[in-house]
């Protein structure tokens, strides 16, 4: 039986399990949603949503340095207990998320953090681009919303494709860990640093740097 996007959506809404796992369980259950729910429950994935509502005030602040000291990340990830915070599995998750942030450069943790001003600006830009391309006026709004979806998937951490597994979103990775570890896990905040970012170099320094790079090539 063909597994449709609507079937996956319905199973996710009923269980809050990661999308990829919903699809896999539906395939294993031959498209039977009730059987897929049972399979998810056996794996513990369907309980992640309940845990996500619990207070997570413990956890870890971690750092990650990449590209020979050119990029650095400070990250806070919360869980419920110090015991879990000290486990190898939680620490590995924190490192993986910090590494992902260094590589993927998200701007927000979740879409609710995107300011209305940012949303309005992006929509205006997408609307102007769509109108300038000559698309019919009656489909402009639909195209703009599609572009907004791409905007979220590129700039929101939890909606980005995980760099170590592009078939999985970062949010789904965290949901899997919630189900496996048994505690609520939340990314609270992060800061990404890029060496020299925001510093205007003098023209002579810039030319010297370019010449040095050319000489090394």
Angle at 20 between CA 58 and CA 38, to 5 degrees: 85
Q: Is residue 11 part of a domain?
A: yes
Last residue of a domain, one of 13, 31, 51: 51
Inside any domain, residue 57? no
Interatomic CA distance for residues 79 and 89, integer angstroms = 12
* Other beta carbons within 10 Å of 39: 19
What CATH number did the domain enclosing 23 receive?
1.10.8.10
Which H or E element spans position 190? strand 186-194
In a domain, 21, yes or no: yes
Last residue of some domain: 9, 26, 51? 51
- Residue 76, C-beta contacts closer than 8 angstroms, at least 6 positions apart: 59, 60, 61, 187, 188, 189, 190
Look at residue 176 and tell me if it is in a domain: no
The C-alpha atoms of residue 62 and residue 72 are separated, in whole angstroms, by 11
- Name the domain count of the chain: 2
Quick: pLDDT tens for 125-156: 999 999 888 888 789 889 999 999 999 999 99
Burial environment of residue 204 by CB neighbours within 10 A (0 to 12, 13 to 18, 19 or more): exposed
- What is this structure's pTM? 0.68
- Top pLDDT among 107 and 36 is at 107
| 133 is a domain residue | yes
Query: Is 101 part of any domain?
Result: no
Quote the percentage of the chain above a pLDDT of 70.
Answer: 86
Which domain does 18 fall in, by range?
A: 1-51
Please indicate, yes or no, if residue 85 is contained in any of the structural domains: no
pLDDT digits (tens, 9 = 90+) for 66-118: 878 999 999 999 999 999 999 999 999 999 999 999 999 999 999 999 999 99
Question: What residues does 192 pair with on adjacent strands?
Answer: 73
Phi, psi of 68 (to 5 degrees): 60, 35
Give domain status of residue 143, yes or no: yes
């Amino acid at each position: 039986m063909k597994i449709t996007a609507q079937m996956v959506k319905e199973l996710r809404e009923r269980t809050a399990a990661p999308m990829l796992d919903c699809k896999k369980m539906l395939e294993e259950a031959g498209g039977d949603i009730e059987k897929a729910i049972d399979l998810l429950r056996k794996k513990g994935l369907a309980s992640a949503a309940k845990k996500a509502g619990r207070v997570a005030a413990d956890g870890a602040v971690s750092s990650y340095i990449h590209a020979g000291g050119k990029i650095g990340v400070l990250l806070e990830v919360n869980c419920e207990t110090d015991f879990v915070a000290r486990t190898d599995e939680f620490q590995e998750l924190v490192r993986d998320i910090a590494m992902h942030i260094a590589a993927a450069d998200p701007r927000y943790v979740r879409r609710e953090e995107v300011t209305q001003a940012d949303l309005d600006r992006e929509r205006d830009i997408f609307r102007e681009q769509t109108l300038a391309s000559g698309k019919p006026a009656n489909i402009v709004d639909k195209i703009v919303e599609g572009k907004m979806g791409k905007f979220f998937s590129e700039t929101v951490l939890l909606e980005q494709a995980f760099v170590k597994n592009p078939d999985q979103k970062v949010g789904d990775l965290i949901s899997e860990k919630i189900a496996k570890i048994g505690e609520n896990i939340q990314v609270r905040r992060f800061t990404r640093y890029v060496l020299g970012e925001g510093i205007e170099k003098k023209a002579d320094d810039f030319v010297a740097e370019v010449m040095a790079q050319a000489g090394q090539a």
